[in-house]
Structure 1
Protein backbone atom coordinates (compact mmCIF):
# COMPACT_ATOMS: atom_id res chain seq x y z
CA UNK A 1 0.00 0.00 0.00
CA UNK A 2 1.49 3.41 -0.94
CA UNK A 3 2.43 6.10 1.52
CA UNK A 4 0.31 9.23 1.85
CA UNK A 5 2.49 12.34 1.52
CA UNK A 6 1.76 15.72 3.02
CA UNK A 7 3.76 18.89 2.45
CA UNK A 8 3.84 21.35 5.34
CA UNK A 9 1.63 19.32 7.71
CA UNK A 10 0.41 20.82 10.96
CA UNK A 11 3.12 20.18 13.51
CA UNK A 12 1.53 18.25 16.35
CA UNK A 13 3.24 16.50 19.27
CA UNK A 14 2.36 13.16 17.63
CA UNK A 15 4.01 14.20 14.35
CA UNK A 16 7.08 15.54 16.16
CA UNK A 17 7.40 12.27 18.10
CA UNK A 18 6.86 10.24 14.94
CA UNK A 19 9.68 12.07 13.17
CA UNK A 20 11.92 11.62 16.20
CA UNK A 21 11.16 7.88 16.29
CA UNK A 22 11.73 7.57 12.52
CA UNK A 23 15.06 9.40 12.69
CA UNK A 24 16.20 7.26 15.62
CA UNK A 25 15.18 4.01 13.95
CA UNK A 26 16.78 4.95 10.62
CA UNK A 27 20.01 5.98 12.35
CA UNK A 28 20.16 2.81 14.41
CA UNK A 29 19.57 0.72 11.28
CA UNK A 30 22.71 2.28 9.74
CA UNK A 31 21.04 5.02 7.72
CA UNK A 32 23.21 8.00 6.86
CA UNK A 33 21.09 10.81 8.23
CA UNK A 34 23.61 12.71 10.33
CA UNK A 35 24.24 10.22 13.13
CA UNK A 36 26.10 6.97 13.72
CA UNK A 37 24.44 4.16 15.67
CA UNK A 38 23.74 3.68 18.43
CA UNK A 39 21.66 6.79 19.13
CA UNK A 40 18.70 7.64 21.30
CA UNK A 41 15.79 9.98 20.75
CA UNK A 42 17.53 12.44 23.08
CA UNK A 43 20.66 12.40 20.89
CA UNK A 44 18.56 13.35 17.86
CA UNK A 45 16.13 15.78 19.50
CA UNK A 46 18.43 18.90 19.26
CA UNK A 47 18.87 18.38 15.52
CA UNK A 48 15.13 17.94 15.04
CA UNK A 49 14.54 21.14 17.02
CA UNK A 50 16.92 22.98 14.63
CA UNK A 51 14.85 21.73 11.68
CA UNK A 52 11.62 22.78 13.41
CA UNK A 53 12.99 26.27 14.10
CA UNK A 54 13.87 26.63 10.42
CA UNK A 55 10.32 25.55 9.57
CA UNK A 56 8.88 28.17 11.94
CA UNK A 57 11.09 30.79 10.29
CA UNK A 58 9.81 29.79 6.85
CA UNK A 59 13.21 28.60 5.63
CA UNK A 60 12.42 24.88 5.60
CA UNK A 61 9.43 22.81 4.53
CA UNK A 62 8.58 19.34 5.77
CA UNK A 63 7.43 16.53 3.54
CA UNK A 64 6.10 13.57 5.52
CA UNK A 65 4.83 10.20 4.37
CA UNK A 66 2.41 8.22 6.51
CA UNK A 67 1.84 4.50 6.15
CA UNK A 68 -1.55 2.76 6.08
CA UNK A 69 -1.57 2.71 9.90
CA UNK A 70 -1.05 6.50 10.08
CA UNK A 71 2.53 6.20 11.35
CA UNK A 72 5.32 8.46 10.11
CA UNK A 73 7.12 6.28 7.58
CA UNK A 74 9.18 8.76 5.56
CA UNK A 75 10.36 12.36 5.67
CA UNK A 76 12.41 14.90 3.80
CA UNK A 77 13.13 18.54 4.57
CA UNK A 78 13.27 21.05 1.72
CA UNK A 79 15.35 24.07 2.66
CA UNK A 80 15.40 27.33 0.76
CA UNK A 81 18.82 28.65 -0.06
CA UNK A 82 19.27 31.92 1.81
CA UNK A 83 22.10 33.24 -0.38
CA UNK A 84 20.59 35.86 -2.68
CA UNK A 85 22.50 34.51 -5.72
CA UNK A 86 21.36 30.93 -5.14
CA UNK A 87 17.64 31.18 -4.50
CA UNK A 88 16.93 29.26 -7.72
CA UNK A 89 17.67 25.92 -6.05
CA UNK A 90 16.79 24.25 -2.76
CA UNK A 91 18.46 21.70 -0.51
CA UNK A 92 16.90 18.36 0.27
CA UNK A 93 17.90 17.15 3.75
CA UNK A 94 17.26 14.24 6.06
CA UNK A 95 15.70 11.97 3.47
CA UNK A 96 14.43 8.94 5.41
CA UNK A 97 12.25 5.88 4.94
CA UNK A 98 11.61 3.68 7.96
CA UNK A 99 13.58 0.41 7.79
CA UNK A 100 10.36 -1.65 7.99
CA UNK A 101 9.25 -0.03 4.71
CA UNK A 102 12.49 -0.18 2.75
CA UNK A 103 12.56 -2.18 -0.45
CA UNK A 104 9.00 -1.23 -1.41
CA UNK A 105 9.80 1.75 -3.64
CA UNK A 106 8.90 4.29 -0.96
CA UNK A 107 12.26 6.04 -1.31
CA UNK A 108 11.49 6.71 -4.97
CA UNK A 109 7.99 7.83 -4.01
CA UNK A 110 9.44 10.22 -1.41
CA UNK A 111 11.88 11.72 -3.92
CA UNK A 112 9.08 12.10 -6.50
CA UNK A 113 6.94 13.89 -3.90
CA UNK A 114 9.90 16.15 -3.03
CA UNK A 115 10.40 16.91 -6.71
CA UNK A 116 6.70 17.80 -7.05
CA UNK A 117 6.99 20.09 -4.00
CA UNK A 118 10.06 21.80 -5.46
CA UNK A 119 8.37 22.24 -8.84
CA UNK A 120 5.50 23.92 -7.02
CA UNK A 121 7.85 26.47 -5.46
CA UNK A 122 8.15 29.64 -7.50
CA UNK A 123 11.61 30.29 -8.90
CA UNK A 124 13.11 26.91 -7.94
CA UNK A 125 14.96 25.29 -10.82
CA UNK A 126 16.87 22.48 -9.11
CA UNK A 127 17.23 20.35 -6.00
CA UNK A 128 20.61 19.73 -4.40
CA UNK A 129 21.43 17.13 -1.79
CA UNK A 130 24.48 15.52 -0.32
CA UNK A 131 24.94 11.92 0.66
CA UNK A 132 27.54 9.91 2.49
CA UNK A 133 29.73 7.78 0.27
CA UNK A 134 30.25 4.12 1.00
CA UNK A 135 26.57 3.12 1.07
CA UNK A 136 25.73 3.20 -2.64
CA UNK A 137 23.34 6.09 -2.06
CA UNK A 138 24.68 8.01 -5.04
CA UNK A 139 23.60 5.11 -7.31
CA UNK A 140 20.11 5.21 -5.79
CA UNK A 141 19.81 8.98 -6.25
CA UNK A 142 21.18 8.69 -9.81
CA UNK A 143 18.47 6.11 -10.59
CA UNK A 144 15.95 8.78 -9.50
CA UNK A 145 17.36 11.36 -11.94
CA UNK A 146 19.96 13.08 -9.75
CA UNK A 147 23.42 13.68 -11.18
CA UNK A 148 26.63 13.64 -9.20
CA UNK A 149 28.17 17.11 -9.52
CA UNK A 150 30.85 17.00 -6.86
CA UNK A 151 32.65 14.90 -4.30
CA UNK A 152 34.66 15.91 -1.26
CA UNK A 153 37.00 13.06 -0.29
CA UNK A 154 37.01 12.05 3.38
CA UNK A 155 34.68 14.92 4.38
CA UNK A 156 32.59 12.79 6.75
CA UNK A 157 34.27 11.11 9.72
CA UNK A 158 32.01 8.23 10.76
CA UNK A 159 34.61 6.95 13.25
CA UNK A 160 38.36 7.29 13.76
CA UNK A 161 39.93 5.79 10.65
CA UNK A 162 36.57 5.61 8.82
CA UNK A 163 36.23 8.69 6.65
CA UNK A 164 33.67 8.84 3.84
CA UNK A 165 33.23 11.04 0.82
CA UNK A 166 30.53 13.67 0.76
CA UNK A 167 28.76 13.35 -2.59
CA UNK A 168 26.89 16.35 -4.01
CA UNK A 169 23.90 15.48 -6.21
CA UNK A 170 21.72 17.75 -8.36
CA UNK A 171 18.30 17.29 -9.93
CA UNK A 172 17.53 19.99 -12.52
CA UNK A 173 13.79 20.66 -12.69
CA UNK A 174 13.77 22.25 -16.14
Structure 2
Protein backbone atom coordinates (compact mmCIF):
# COMPACT_ATOMS: atom_id res chain seq x y z
CA UNK A 1 0.00 0.00 0.00
CA UNK A 2 1.15 3.50 -0.71
CA UNK A 3 -0.12 7.03 -0.49
CA UNK A 4 -1.61 9.00 -3.34
CA UNK A 5 -0.15 12.50 -3.44
CA UNK A 6 -1.89 15.59 -4.79
CA UNK A 7 -0.38 19.03 -5.18
CA UNK A 8 -2.80 21.91 -4.71
CA UNK A 9 -5.94 19.91 -3.94
CA UNK A 10 -9.26 21.70 -3.68
CA UNK A 11 -9.72 22.88 -0.10
CA UNK A 12 -12.98 21.23 0.89
CA UNK A 13 -14.45 20.82 4.37
CA UNK A 14 -13.32 17.17 4.29
CA UNK A 15 -9.73 18.18 3.46
CA UNK A 16 -9.77 20.93 6.10
CA UNK A 17 -11.01 18.48 8.74
CA UNK A 18 -8.51 15.84 7.63
CA UNK A 19 -5.65 18.31 7.92
CA UNK A 20 -6.83 19.43 11.36
CA UNK A 21 -7.05 15.82 12.53
CA UNK A 22 -3.64 14.99 11.07
CA UNK A 23 -1.92 18.01 12.63
CA UNK A 24 -3.58 17.39 16.01
CA UNK A 25 -2.79 13.66 16.03
CA UNK A 26 0.82 14.20 14.95
CA UNK A 27 1.28 16.88 17.62
CA UNK A 28 -0.26 14.72 20.34
CA UNK A 29 2.01 11.83 19.34
CA UNK A 30 5.02 14.10 20.00
CA UNK A 31 5.61 15.24 16.43
CA UNK A 32 7.64 18.44 16.02
CA UNK A 33 5.12 20.43 13.97
CA UNK A 34 4.73 23.62 15.98
CA UNK A 35 2.82 22.40 19.02
CA UNK A 36 3.50 20.50 22.22
CA UNK A 37 1.03 17.89 23.48
CA UNK A 38 -1.64 17.96 24.56
CA UNK A 39 -3.19 20.04 21.81
CA UNK A 40 -6.73 20.33 20.48
CA UNK A 41 -8.07 20.88 16.99
CA UNK A 42 -9.16 24.36 18.07
CA UNK A 43 -5.58 25.22 19.09
CA UNK A 44 -4.29 24.02 15.70
CA UNK A 45 -7.02 25.69 13.61
CA UNK A 46 -5.47 29.24 13.54
CA UNK A 47 -2.17 27.87 12.20
CA UNK A 48 -4.01 25.95 9.46
CA UNK A 49 -6.06 29.04 8.58
CA UNK A 50 -2.79 30.99 8.16
CA UNK A 51 -1.57 28.34 5.71
CA UNK A 52 -4.87 28.55 3.80
CA UNK A 53 -4.61 32.36 3.65
CA UNK A 54 -1.07 32.10 2.27
CA UNK A 55 -2.35 29.56 -0.28
CA UNK A 56 -5.06 31.99 -1.38
CA UNK A 57 -2.37 34.67 -1.83
CA UNK A 58 -0.26 32.32 -3.97
CA UNK A 59 2.64 32.24 -1.50
CA UNK A 60 2.05 28.69 -0.29
CA UNK A 61 1.19 25.41 -1.97
CA UNK A 62 -0.10 22.24 -0.34
CA UNK A 63 1.04 18.67 -0.99
CA UNK A 64 -1.25 16.10 0.59
CA UNK A 65 -1.05 12.31 0.72
CA UNK A 66 -4.18 10.21 1.05
CA UNK A 67 -4.15 6.60 2.21
CA UNK A 68 -6.03 3.74 0.58
CA UNK A 69 -9.17 4.68 2.56
CA UNK A 70 -9.03 8.23 1.19
CA UNK A 71 -8.02 9.72 4.55
CA UNK A 72 -5.45 12.51 4.85
CA UNK A 73 -2.32 10.66 5.91
CA UNK A 74 0.56 13.02 5.12
CA UNK A 75 1.17 16.62 4.18
CA UNK A 76 3.73 19.31 3.56
CA UNK A 77 3.39 22.99 2.68
CA UNK A 78 5.70 24.81 0.27
CA UNK A 79 6.24 28.51 0.94
CA UNK A 80 7.84 30.70 -1.71
CA UNK A 81 10.26 33.46 -0.82
CA UNK A 82 9.24 37.04 -1.45
CA UNK A 83 12.74 38.49 -1.10
CA UNK A 84 14.04 38.94 -4.66
CA UNK A 85 17.46 37.50 -3.77
CA UNK A 86 15.98 34.28 -2.40
CA UNK A 87 13.32 33.30 -4.91
CA UNK A 88 15.44 30.40 -6.17
CA UNK A 89 14.59 28.17 -3.19
CA UNK A 90 11.40 27.25 -1.35
CA UNK A 91 10.63 26.43 2.28
CA UNK A 92 9.02 23.10 3.16
CA UNK A 93 6.86 23.45 6.29
CA UNK A 94 4.63 21.30 8.45
CA UNK A 95 5.92 17.99 7.12
CA UNK A 96 3.70 15.31 8.69
CA UNK A 97 2.81 11.64 8.44
CA UNK A 98 -0.05 10.36 10.57
CA UNK A 99 1.20 8.25 13.52
CA UNK A 100 -0.84 5.23 12.36
CA UNK A 101 1.21 5.24 9.15
CA UNK A 102 4.66 5.77 10.60
CA UNK A 103 7.22 3.07 9.96
CA UNK A 104 5.80 2.29 6.49
CA UNK A 105 8.17 4.50 4.50
CA UNK A 106 5.53 7.18 3.94
CA UNK A 107 7.77 9.95 5.28
CA UNK A 108 10.33 9.13 2.62
CA UNK A 109 7.52 8.92 0.04
CA UNK A 110 6.28 12.36 1.12
CA UNK A 111 9.73 13.90 0.74
CA UNK A 112 10.15 12.24 -2.67
CA UNK A 113 6.80 13.67 -3.78
CA UNK A 114 7.83 17.09 -2.41
CA UNK A 115 11.11 16.97 -4.32
CA UNK A 116 9.28 15.97 -7.51
CA UNK A 117 6.83 18.86 -7.06
CA UNK A 118 9.58 21.40 -6.34
CA UNK A 119 11.51 20.34 -9.44
CA UNK A 120 8.46 21.36 -11.48
CA UNK A 121 8.27 24.83 -9.89
CA UNK A 122 9.72 27.50 -12.16
CA UNK A 123 13.15 28.75 -11.06
CA UNK A 124 13.46 26.67 -7.87
CA UNK A 125 16.94 25.24 -7.24
CA UNK A 126 16.59 23.95 -3.67
CA UNK A 127 14.24 23.03 -0.84
CA UNK A 128 14.97 24.36 2.63
CA UNK A 129 13.38 23.20 5.87
CA UNK A 130 14.05 23.44 9.54
CA UNK A 131 13.48 20.84 12.19
CA UNK A 132 13.56 20.58 15.95
CA UNK A 133 16.77 19.11 17.33
CA UNK A 134 16.81 16.31 19.86
CA UNK A 135 14.45 14.01 17.97
CA UNK A 136 16.73 12.55 15.32
CA UNK A 137 14.87 14.36 12.55
CA UNK A 138 18.07 15.65 11.00
CA UNK A 139 19.24 12.04 10.56
CA UNK A 140 15.99 11.16 8.79
CA UNK A 141 16.13 14.21 6.51
CA UNK A 142 19.81 13.48 5.88
CA UNK A 143 18.92 9.97 4.75
CA UNK A 144 16.58 11.60 2.21
CA UNK A 145 19.37 13.73 0.73
CA UNK A 146 19.04 16.89 2.83
CA UNK A 147 22.21 18.42 4.24
CA UNK A 148 22.45 20.27 7.53
CA UNK A 149 23.50 23.82 6.65
CA UNK A 150 22.90 25.58 9.95
CA UNK A 151 21.93 25.18 13.56
CA UNK A 152 20.69 27.74 16.04
CA UNK A 153 21.28 26.41 19.55
CA UNK A 154 18.36 26.49 21.98
CA UNK A 155 16.13 28.42 19.55
CA UNK A 156 13.02 26.33 20.23
CA UNK A 157 11.57 26.34 23.74
CA UNK A 158 9.43 23.21 24.08
CA UNK A 159 8.93 23.78 27.80
CA UNK A 160 10.68 25.69 30.59
CA UNK A 161 14.16 24.20 30.81
CA UNK A 162 13.71 22.22 27.56
CA UNK A 163 15.27 24.21 24.74
CA UNK A 164 16.06 22.56 21.41
CA UNK A 165 18.21 23.50 18.46
CA UNK A 166 16.61 24.78 15.27
CA UNK A 167 18.31 22.70 12.57
CA UNK A 168 18.31 24.08 9.03
CA UNK A 169 18.43 21.52 6.21
CA UNK A 170 18.81 22.02 2.44
CA UNK A 171 18.16 19.79 -0.55
CA UNK A 172 19.76 21.12 -3.74
CA UNK A 173 17.72 20.19 -6.81
CA UNK A 174 20.57 20.24 -9.35
TM-score (normalizing by structure 1): 1.00
Counterpart for residue 144 of structure 1: 144
Residue 36 of structure 1, CA deviation: 0.2
Counterpart for residue 92 of structure 2: 92
Q: Deviations over 1:69-121 (max 9, x none)?
A: 00000000001011110000000000000000000000000000000010000
* SS at 1:9 equivalent: coil
Q: Deviations over 1:132-172 (max 9, x none)?
A: 00000000000000000000000000000000000000000
Q: Report the Cα distance in structure 1 between the residues aligned to 2:138 and 2:157, rounded to whole angstroms.
A: 18
Q: Report the Cα distance in structure 1 between the residues aligned to 2:148 and 2:41, rounded to whole angstroms.
A: 32
Query: Is 1:57 equivalent to 2:57 in the alignment?
Result: yes
C-alpha RMSD of matched pairs (Å): 0.3
Q: Report how many residues are paired.
A: 174
Residue 14 of structure 1, CA deviation: 0.3
Residue segments in structure 2 that go unaligned for 5+ positions in a row = none
Counterpart for residue 116 of structure 2: 116
* SS at 2:139 equivalent: helix
Counterpart for residue 157 of structure 1: 157
Q: Report the Cα distance in structure 1 between the residues aligned to 2:113 and 2:79, rounded to whole angstroms.
A: 15
Query: Is 1:169 equivalent to 2:143 in the alignment?
Result: no
Counterpart for residue 69 of structure 1: 69
Q: Deviations over 1:45-89 (max 9, x none)?
A: 000000000000000000000000000000000010111100000
Q: Report the Cα distance in structure 1 between the residues aligned to 2:107 and 2:77, rounded to whole angstroms.
A: 14
Residue segments in structure 1 that go unaligned for 5+ positions in a row = none
